[in-house]
Structure 1
Amino acid sequence: ATRTPTRDAAGIALLLRYYNQLYFIERRFFPPDRSLGIYFEWFDSLTGVPSCQRTVAFEKASVLFNAGALYTQLGARQDRRSAKGLDQAVDAFLRAAGTFRYIHENFTNAPSMDLGPDMLNMLVQLMLAQARECLFEKLELQSRDTRSIDVSLDLAQEAAQACILLLSHTISKKSM
């Protein structure tokens, strides 16, 4: 079931339950002083190239990456013509950003490009930019009488700055 989770909140919950079980499995069956010869294999989401490691940490990071990817899909599928849909999109994008940041801060030695620090940082920035854009769109939904032009400009500027930062970071890493 964790190989093909549904693309909704239930699928994310399933992945997170599996992630939590991995914590106990790691403590019980994977002592740090010896290798059991069990390999975990995942396919890079960008290249499709398989990566294989014997550490449970790789499995945990990969499961969390999939949860983050599902959060992004949930955010993108929300109805952005309503305040409720925009709120749900912001929540999903922020959860995705938090998931990718957690992976970046807690898992090192990534064998695949999608789990690398540069890619994770880019995904965090992209999800934060998406959330800011949704906040701006929500403000634009309000009637012109009740919204403040200053707040609209601030949110638009924040969204633009996030996109510029993301783009400049991506270009500078690509040219290296």
Structure 2
Amino acid sequence: MEGCPRLPAISFDPKVSIESVDLCEKIPNYITSTYQENGNKYSQECEQMNRLRQTTINSSADENGIQLLKRYYCQLQLLRNRFPMLPDTECAVRFTWEDAFQKEDNTYNDIRFEEACILYNLGAMYSRLGANESRRTHDSIKNACTYFRCAAACYEKVRDQYTTYTSDLTPDLLTCQVHILLAQAHEAVLEKSLLDQRAPSVNAHVAMQISEYYQMALLNLMKPGINSIVSKRFR
């Protein structure tokens, strides 16, 4: 295994949100007018949600950061299911996020945009954790493979379940990222297979899968409009 080249893995940058958001800005009034209940008595819960968002968007790339992103994503879905927070509805608020590649701010008064950005960042954090693994032990190889697969799953969900709000959420670009991540997950599988001294035919089959994923990533990367979005380091 020492003679096998181990290329540095690719990870993806997260999206950035620097503007503070009051998630529950309109919810107390909505509760009062709709349910004839004093909405202000939920001010503590609203403050907790806002603190959770602030902590989440500033979280570090580690297991704690992963758990924060997951928790906040679930809370966003609960909010959307309980209150009208889609565009032009009673409780809609504005969310501003920077494009991960173009570095331009984008704003939508749509909680689904916030969900998509958080899910994208979850994928980015998984990709960073995978890239940070040394892959020199069985456990590290296993961790890298798991992280890359989880990252790919996040980007697939963003692609399949959310609108293309911004250029970094373009389906072809997300598909390119998915293929890169799956290729890297299979590279970890190949490294494990070599360590275990599996049959050459098995190793060759995995290597072919890696090559196919990278070829598919390149095809998506070269589509019109996509190669102008990404950073030069991915060309």
What is the TM-score when the length of structure 2 is the normalising length?
0.69
2:175 corresponds, among 121, 127, 139, to 121
Partners in 1 of 2:57 and 2:220 — Cα distance? 32
| CA-CA distance at 1:100 after TM superposition | 0.5
Partners in 1 of 2:153 and 2:201 — Cα distance? 28
| CA-CA distance at 1:35 after TM superposition | 4.8
Partner of 1:9: 63
| CA-CA distance at 1:134 after TM superposition | 1.1
Contact 1:75–1:92 (CA under 8 A) maintained in structure 2: yes
Matched, 1:86 2:141: yes
Contact 2:84–2:92 (CA under 8 A) maintained in structure 1: no
Partner of 2:14: none
Partner of 2:106: 51
The answer to which structure has the higher helix fraction is 1
| CA-CA distance at 1:116 after TM superposition | 1.5
The one-letter code of the counterpart of 2:155 is F
Deviates more, 1:35-44 or 1:97-106: 35-44
Alpha carbons of 1:175 and 1:45: their partners in 2 closer, same or farther (altered >3 Å)? closer
Segments of 4+ in structure 1 off by > 6 A? none
Contact 2:149–2:185 (CA under 8 A) maintained in structure 1: yes
| CA-CA distance at 1:10 after TM superposition | 1.0
Partners in 1 of 2:205 and 2:64 — Cα distance? 36
Partner of 2:193: 139
Deviates more, 1:23-32 or 1:91-100: 23-32
Per-residue deviation, residues 25-54 of structure 1 (Å, max 9, x unmatched): 122332557254520010011011000001
Contact 1:35–1:54 (CA under 8 A) maintained in structure 2: no
Q: CA RMSD in A?
A: 1.8
> Which of structures 1 and 2 has the bigger CA Rg?
2
| CA-CA distance at 1:79 after TM superposition | 2.0
1:24 corresponds, among 71, 78, 81, to 78
> Structure 1: any 5+ residue segments left out of the alignment?
none
How many residue pairs match? The answer is: 172
Alpha carbons of 1:99 and 1:175: their partners in 2 closer, same or farther (altered >3 Å)? closer
Deviates more, 1:99-108 or 1:29-38: 29-38
Alpha carbons of 1:114 and 1:175: their partners in 2 closer, same or farther (altered >3 Å)? closer
Partner of 1:169: 220
Identity %: 31
Alpha carbons of 1:150 and 1:164: their partners in 2 closer, same or farther (altered >3 Å)? same
| CA-CA distance at 1:12 after TM superposition | 1.0
Partners in 2 of 1:58 and 1:35 — Cα distance? 17
Per-residue deviation, residues 77-136 of structure 1 (Å, max 9, x unmatched): 11211111111000000000101001111101x231111111111111111111111111
Partners in 2 of 1:16 and 1:169 — Cα distance? 28
Alpha carbons of 1:120 and 1:35: their partners in 2 closer, same or farther (altered >3 Å)? farther
The one-letter code of the counterpart of 1:68 is G
Partners in 1 of 2:222 and 2:170 — Cα distance? 16
The one-letter code of the counterpart of 2:139 is K
